[in-house]
Chain A
Amino acid sequence: SQQGEEDPQALSIQEGENATMNCSYKTSINNLQWYRQNSGRGLVHLILIRSNEREKHSGRLRVTLDTSKKSSSLLITASRAADTASYFCATDDAQAGTALIFGKGTTLSVSS
């Protein structure tokens, strides 16, 4: 069964606006990660937040984690056209101990 599911599936914004993507998951986790993928390329790791953390920042990225709701959000502030990409959350299953499971992703389009 799918672990992480991103919402919305697609998001279109103007440069300078903020973009918020959400991720929900099903099991207990050790950490949650966000990745970015430019069209037809490999995924690039953006940020990792551990289960005992509630918020984390990296440059223009802000990630929150609510383990009680089994959800996370990724906020990109002051978006740029270069932020156009697909964004994926990935979670481990703390009990099963298997590899990361990726969601279907949110496709972000930033127009100038």
Chain B
Amino acid sequence: ETGVTQTPRHLVMGMTNKKSLKCEQHLGHNAMYWYKQSAKKPLELMFVYSLEERVENNSVPSRFSPECPNSSHLFLHLHTLQPEDSALYLCASSPGTRSGWGTDTQYFGPGTRLTVL
């Protein structure tokens, strides 16, 4: 148990559905991250929020929409996904502030296994 929870753990959705992934951290951290992990590919950083402000957005398609209402919660809203978006989506948090989050140790949730049909 790392102090980072993710729901749901598994999600199957059609290409026309709208769903949301939720991440919550109980560590008092200031930075939160979304990653995509596909088979045989490196972990892909999608979004970074530091103190509830988006500080990094790595050319992610607009069908993925992040939301960070406070420093403990992070959402990833999904709509009109493609089958190639099927992957394990990992949330992580770290202690950092805007100037220092890049070198932080990250604490990961268990992930949401997403399947797009």
Chain A interface residues (CB < 8 Å from chain B): 2, 30-31, 33, 35, 40-45, 48, 88, 90, 92-93, 97-105
Which of B2, B101, B104 touches A42 (beta carbons < 8 Å)?
A: B2
B15 within 8 A of A: no
Are the CB atoms of A42 and B103 closer together than 8 Å? no
Chain B interface residues (CB < 8 Å from chain A): 2, 4, 6, 33, 40-43, 45, 48, 56, 88, 90, 92, 101-111, 113
Are the CB atoms of A42 and B108 closer together than 8 Å? yes
A35 to B90, CA, bound (A): 14
A48 to B94, CA, bound (A): 14
Are the CB atoms of A42 and B102 closer together than 8 Å? no
Are the CB atoms of B102 and A2 closer together than 8 Å? no
A91 to B2, CA, bound (A): 21
B residues in contact with A98, CB < 8 Å: 56, 102
Are the CB atoms of A40 and B102 closer together than 8 Å? no
Closest 10 CB pairs of A and B: A42-B108, A102-B43, A43-B108, A30-B103, A92-B103, A42-B110, A104-B42, A92-B102, A45-B105, A42-B109
Decide yes or no: A102 and B42 within 8 Å by CB, A40-B88, A42-B4, A97-B102 being known contacts: yes
Are the CB atoms of A2 and B103 closer together than 8 Å? no
B residues in contact with A90, CB < 8 Å: 106
Are the CB atoms of A44 and B102 closer together than 8 Å? no
B48 to chain A, nearest CB (A): 5
